[in-house]
Structure 1
Amino acid sequence: MALKRRTKISAAFSMSSMTDIVFLLLIFFMITSTMVHPNAIKLLIPKKVTKKVEVQKYLNVRVTSSGRYYVDGKRVGAESIESGLLKAFNSNEQTIVKLRTDKNASTGDVAAVLDIAESNGIKVILDIR
């Protein structure tokens, strides 16, 4: 006696309920996002004011790869670099030293100039070429 099933199992999947849920979630998030107020900082932007721009002059100091020092284009010996640097710095009333070094310059020579500037309270900009 061969019994047959009267109901067949369907392998199809209905997406209609899934799309309903996604649609309802989309509506929910759209409504709640309009109710949220972002925490923003109020900035007080200043009005247009003209200022004079101060141009700072630089005292050029150069250290070569052979260990030579130049202060404003004048050669200074290694033993008198501090006095030469201070004399040029005080006579011109310049506020910043622009230290230019060659690519192969010794770090000890560069550090000597930086130590002199630091001990005398001079600001230094380092320019390596």
Structure 2
Amino acid sequence: MSSMTDIVFLLLIFFMITSTMVHPNAIKLLIPKQASKKVIVDEFVNIRVSPVGNYYYNNKRVTQTSLEKAIIDISNSPNKTFIKLRTDRGASTGATAPILDVAESYGVKVVLDIR
């Protein structure tokens, strides 16, 4: 019995030493100490997707194709325009995904607001 406790004790020491040598693979982030820039947004464009799947552009009901054209116009404007995309919890992702796809392909920033 005493030899068994010696083996367990040696194994415990071995695992304690080897566990301190293992370094986890972590991502090194350089976080700025202080915010030096403020992002200035000229305007927001409100787009809403209803639970039924209807689209609203600045509180006016529009079709999906006219909404896509409006997003393309936003990307061509010289102002820093962001899209505030408001979706209801009942809205399907199939209705929201085309807006996000067009905005991403034309480089328009989208802020998602789920209610």
Q: Tell whether the structures are fold-level matches, with TM greater than 0.5.
A: yes
Higher relative contact order (CA 8 A, sep 6+): 2
1:83 and 2:74 aligned: no
Q: Distance in 2 between matches of 1:119 and 1:105?
A: 22
Could you tell me which of 110, 120, 123 is aligned with 2:96? 110
By how many angstroms is 1:88 displaced? 5.1
Q: Which has the larger radius of gyration?
A: 1
Q: Whose helix fraction is larger, Structure 1's or Structure 2's?
A: 2
Per-residue deviation, 1:90: 4.5
Across the aligned residues of Structure 1 and Structure 2, the Cα RMSD in angstroms comes to: 2.5
Report the TM-score, using the length of structure 1 for normalisation. Answer: 0.52
1:104 maps to a residue whose letter is G
Percent of residue pairs identical: 46
Distance 2:111 2:79 in 1: 17
Count of residue pairs brought into register by the alignment: 81
Deviation at 1:127, TM superposition (A): 0.3
- Structure 2 length as normaliser, TM-score? 0.58
Cα distance, 1:94–1:70 mapped onto 2, change above 3 Å: farther
